[in-house]
Structure 1
Amino acid sequence: MSSCQKLANIIGGTVVQATPVCVVMRLRDIPATILGRRTLSPLAIPFMLSFERNGINLGETVLLQSEVNPMIHALQRRGLIVTAFHNHWLFENPRLMYMHWENVGMNPFEFARRSFEAAREARLRFY
């Protein structure tokens, strides 16, 4: 089993891309609509992590408004840096917000574990 697949397994997700950057993803369980249409797009409801050979680890997830503060606190308690919080879509329901976090130098497996532990602590729901 590849290292990238092992990282995907930590979050119960799938490998989106293995080279040159490992990207893993799991979809959030959010009944979202955009422009009145139900969406299951990974562009709309992702929990994604990427790992590069130079030591940079990045994360992004969609959040409901009520999940924002719990997720910020859970990531920060684990030593991860929250770098951005913004919207992606217009006319979505419920209101969807996107958070990004990062770390340099942490073992990718530890970053994946800490990221997913933070999501669990914040009570994020997944498919």
Structure 2
Amino acid sequence: MGISASKCQQLADIIGGEVISSTPVCTIMRLRDDIKATILGLPTRSPLALPFMLTFENNSLNLGETVLRQKEVNPMLTALRRRGLIVTAFHNHWLFEKPRLMYMH
């Protein structure tokens, strides 16, 4: 059984995000509003380009994805490891984007 809809909303409130779905998995998204990104020279605010997304099932964090500037990668990786979180993927999504965006799971 997943976490309750009210617990999902509480988690969204903590990170300033929005509940995308609460059943069967709590999915929360927040866009990075501090990154002014372009892809192929065109500005974007797409949730595909600038996500901070978390999914929770039961009482544990299952998945997360966040967009990072290159200079944020090592500090974020260090902070996650210190807290016992495991990074399972690190990659880029786009070509010709500015600034260079990396995605961590």
Asked whether the two chains share a fold, i.e. TM above 0.5, the reply is: yes
More helix, by proportion: 1
Pick from 66, 72, 75 the counterpart of residue 70 of structure 1. 75
Q: What is the TM-score with the length of structure 2 in the denominator?
A: 0.89
The answer to whether structure 1 residue 14 and structure 2 residue 18 are counterparts is yes
Number of residues paired by the alignment?
A: 100
Structure 1 residue matching 2:27: 3-state secondary structure:
strand
Name structure 2 gaps, 5 residues minimum.
none
For residues 78 and 53 of structure 1, what CA distance do their matches in structure 2 show? 20
Aligned counterparts of 2:60 and 2:84: Cα–Cα separation in 1 = 15
Which whole-Å deviations, capped at 9, do the CAs of 1:46-86 have from their partners, x for residues lacking one? 11100123845211100000000000000011110011100
> Normalising by the residue count of structure 1, what TM-score does the alignment of the two structures yield?
0.74
Relative CO higher for 1 or 2, CA cutoff 8 Å, sep ≥ 6? Answer: 1
Secondary structure of 1:5's counterpart equals: helix
1:95 matched to which residue of 2? 100
The Cα shift of 1:88 comes to: 0.6
Unpaired runs of at least 5, structure 1: 101-127
Identity in percent: 75
Kindly indicate whether residue 84 of structure 2 is the aligned counterpart of residue 79 of structure 1.
Answer: yes
Other structure's SS at 1:81 match? coil
Name whichever structure is richer in strand by fraction.
2
With over 3 angstroms needed to count, the CA separation of the structure-2 counterparts of 1:98 and 1:36, relative to structure 1, is same
